[in-house]
Structure 1
Amino acid sequence: MQVIHHPEEQRFTLAVEGHTAVLEYTRHGDTLIFTHTGVPPAIGGRGIGSQLARAGLEYARQQNCRVRALCWFVSGYIERHPEYQDLRA
């Protein structure tokens, strides 16, 4: 399973068994604002949301961006993974 970044749509996706999970963001200057993570129930509980969050945060780091997590899932992911806390705006 590979996370795919769609910069023109400002989202990351991960397709699994015919279902698509998504992490949506908006970019304001050097800040990425993560607004929504959605994982269909049929593929929930497999760490797919975490894969999306990690991909989004790694992208932010590569782009030298700060992060605001309006999405509760990404916010919680950052709390549980101190290696990403330095990205907070």
Structure 2
Amino acid sequence: MEIKEEQNRLVLLNDEGQETGEMTWSNAGSDIMIIDHTFVDPAYRGQKLAEKLVRQGVEIARRDHKEVIPLCPFAKREFDNKSEYGDVLRK
């Protein structure tokens, strides 16, 4: 699996290059990233791929010096359960 960064989107590609998941966000100003959607094709669920997408989103926020508002229910749960994301969580 490969994660490719696009404009306000991370795309999860399988070994054949087919899109199997995504995480999208919008920007609120120059310093806030709002994660609004995370999806993994049902055939690929159970492999922690959505977690990898959110983790990559956190790394992008760190790289770009942004805070994150996790609106997506899955991303919110990840932020609630992973204290290591606290440095980018918008309070």
Give the TM-score, by structure 1 length. 0.90
Tell me what 2:56 maps to. Answer: 55
C-alpha separation between the residues in 1 aligned to 2:5 and 2:35?
14
Name stretches of at least 5 consecutive residues in structure 2 with no aligned partner.
Answer: none
Worse-matched range after superposition: 76-85 or 13-22: 13-22
- Matching of residue 3 in structure 1 with residue 3 in structure 2: yes
Tell me what 1:14 maps to. Answer: 12
Tell me what 2:26 maps to. Answer: 26
How many residue pairs get aligned? The number is 87
1:52-81 alpha-carbon deviations (Å, 9 max, x no partner): 000001100111000001101111111221
Contact kept? 1:3, 1:13, Cα under 8 Å? yes
1:19 deviation in Å?
4.4
Instruction: Name the % identity.
Output: 30
C-alpha separation between the residues in 2 aligned to 1:19 and 1:13?
7
Name stretches of at least 5 consecutive residues in structure 1 with no aligned partner.
Answer: none
Partner SS for 2:2: coil
Contact kept? 2:11, 2:19, Cα under 8 Å? no
Tell me what 1:43 maps to. Answer: 44
Partner SS for 1:3: strand
The residue type paired with residue 13 of structure 2 is: A
